Structure 1
Amino acid sequence: MKFSPPALKCRNVPGGQVNTTHITVQSPKLVPFFKATCVYFVLWLPTSSPSWFSALIKCLPIFCLWVFLLAHGINFLVSHRSASRILAGLIFSALGDAFLIWQEQGYFIHGLLMFAITHILYSSAFGMKPLDLKAGLLMGVVSSSCYAFLYSYLSGPFTYLVAVYIALIGFMGWRAVAGLSACVGAMLFMVSDLTIALNKFCFPVPYSRFIIMATYYAAQMLIALPACSPSPRA
């Protein structure tokens, strides 16, 4: 990754750059997202009593990222297909968040499916250029290692559902590695999901909820930010 003021080289972003001026301009538009994230952590509603209100509070930061992208206009989203795919991914993410509020009532798989669709949409937004096979191989090794560790703790449909999910998020992480912001976002997303898996299937993870949500919200913001690059992308 080479720095060349005033732009940061970033290959998975249209034109290969994320201009620092662009980031400065976009930052104030993310204020609602940061406020909504603070509301979630300040309220810290108990997960033992799921409700539509707790679902709303959990999804609120993602709603703010919807608004962040929609504020650029429908024409922008139409001409920037990567941005429209990121928006679609955020919509499915919010649905996944809502389902996971009721995961103990049998909706965990529904949430898993929503986030699987999210990763497919994000992968499509990042594209296949540059291919970077070395990064793909590394991500494959990491993903395989994670599944190998989890395998003995899995049973029933989760044995293959988790395998498919890890493959999808690993592929998404591979396609994100060419750009700084999206790459960091993808890695944080993987940390969040791995923490969920460890806590649900293996053993209690200390401060798991805080780790999961802090890395998740940061990941979504970092993935959404470069989608608003002014250069069009197929």
Structure 2
Amino acid sequence: MANQNCPRSTQQAALLLLYNAKRLRKGDDGWQRRGNGTQAAVIDSAHFSEVYGKPRVKSIGPKLIPFLNTVCIYFILWLPSSEPSWFSALIKCLPILSLGIFLLAYSVSIGAMNSYSKRILLGLLFSAGGDVCLIWPQFFLHGMVMFGIAHLLYITAFGMRPLKLKIFLVFALLGGTLYFIMHPYLQEPFLYTVGIYTALICIMGWRALARVKLSSYGWSWTRAYSAIGAITFMVSDCTLAVDRFCMPLPYARAIVMGTYYTAQMLIALSIIDTSTDYGDDNLLWKKK
């Protein structure tokens, strides 16, 4: 069975061949002699990443500068929410648009954009649309719809394998408890839309956390980023929901926006080194 950790792009495959050829000439210990006298490579993925991955890792920081700058601008200006305007909408959604540009720049730098990255990018764009809608209170429901679509895109990106039903039960319990608490405060049309939205964000958290493998062999920081990002997103939305529908919370806006921008950044960072199209390979309905 093919190793799923092997790079799939032509560029990565060429680098791997060059890497192994150099090790062969140097008599590297990673090459082991078989019984028939031939030599076969033991692919040390950690060593390979160390040799060829450093330039890629170093290139991430500068690409995030626009996002960090726009987040600082949002908190420095701190435009009053009581005075909605298109300028406020632009300032609010600029960090998310910057993450979209980061994603595109990273994809261009590696010469490919897989289905996982495409779905995360679409999720960011719908999130930016939701940010614009939430500036005006009368469009709050429209904003929920936009963010609901973003969560659906993130769910399809994270995939449905492995299921890990125990994690699902935990998130179902959390979501059900939150909705039970908010239910007495909800009125039409939010009585049902909040329930649907709560289910979507809990499913997103479940699917993001289910992808994380704690073993040293299967550990991936990019999957950890998406899991932490999804949970942080849940904290942001829970704070917003309680503040809007139940009771005012101190520093609610700062908590909501701080956790929201952090969550989106972590989810965007999960595209790094996603050599496998998780959104395709992990779907339950994928044909064998």
Shift of 1:73: 2.7
Query: 1:68 aligned to 2:102?
Result: yes
Aligned counterparts, 1:32-181, within 5 A: 32-71=66-105, 72-73=107-108, 76-77=112-113, 80-103=114-137, 106-177=138-209, 178=212, 179-181=223-225
Q: Report the 3-state secondary structure (helix = DSSP H, G, I; strand = E; otherwise coil) of the residue aligned with 1:228.
A: coil
Q: Report the 3-state secondary structure (helix = DSSP H, G, I; strand = E; otherwise coil) of the residue aligned with 1:107.
A: helix
Counterpart CA distance in 2 for 1:119 and 1:230 is 19
State how many pairs are aligned: 213
User: Where does residue 256 of structure 2 map in the other structure?
Assistant: 212
Shift of 1:188: 0.8
Shift of 1:23: 4.5
Shift of 1:148: 0.7
Counterpart CA distance in 1 for 2:235 and 2:77 is 23
Q: Report the 3-state secondary structure (helix = DSSP H, G, I; strand = E; otherwise coil) of the residue aligned with 2:83.
A: coil
Q: Given the superposition, is the C-alpha separation of residues 172 and 23 from structure 1 closer, same or farther in structure 2, using an over 3 Å criterion? A: farther
Bigger drift between 207-216 and 172-181 goes to 172-181
User: Where does residue 222 of structure 1 map in the other structure?
Assistant: 266
Shift of 1:180: 1.2
Unaligned runs of 5+ in 1: 1-16
Deviations 1:159-203 (A, max 9, x none): 110000000000000000023111110111111111111111100
Counterpart CA distance in 1 for 2:95 and 2:147 is 16
Bigger drift between 153-162 and 81-90 goes to 153-162
User: Where does residue 28 of structure 1 map in the other structure?
Assistant: 62
User: Normalised by the size of structure 2, how large is the TM-score?
Assistant: 0.71
Unaligned runs of 5+ in 2: 1-45, 213-222, 281-288
Q: Report the 3-state secondary structure (helix = DSSP H, G, I; strand = E; otherwise coil) of the residue aligned with 2:167.
A: helix
Shift of 1:230: 4.7
Q: Report the 3-state secondary structure (helix = DSSP H, G, I; strand = E; otherwise coil) of the residue aligned with 1:57.
A: helix
- Please identify which structure carries the higher helix content: 1
Counterpart CA distance in 2 for 1:91 and 1:130 is 27
Counterpart CA distance in 2 for 1:196 and 1:23 is 34
Q: Report the 3-state secondary structure (helix = DSSP H, G, I; strand = E; otherwise coil) of the residue aligned with 2:271.
A: helix
Amino acid at match of 2:165: L
Counterpart CA distance in 2 for 1:129 and 1:185 is 19
User: Where does residue 30 of structure 2 map in the other structure?
Assistant: none
User: Normalised by the size of structure 1, how large is the TM-score?
Assistant: 0.87
Report 1 or 2 for greater relative contact order, CA contacts < 8 Å, sequence distance ≥ 6: 1
Amino acid at match of 2:99: L
Query: 1:232 aligned to 2:257?
Result: no
Amino acid at match of 2:84: P
Contact preservation (8 Å) 1:83, 1:228: no
Counterpart CA distance in 2 for 1:24 and 1:228 is 12
**Alignment identity in percent?**
50
Deviations 1:99-121 (A, max 9, x none): 00012xx1000000000000000
Structure 1 residue ranges, 4+ long, deviating more than 6 angstroms after superposition: none
Counterpart CA distance in 1 for 2:270 and 2:195 is 29
Shift of 1:133: 1.1
Counterpart CA distance in 1 for 2:242 and 2:82 is 19
Q: Given the superposition, is the C-alpha separation of residues 99 and 120 from structure 1 closer, same or farther in structure 2, using an over 3 Å criterion? A: same
Bigger drift between 23-32 and 151-160 goes to 23-32
RMSD: 1.7
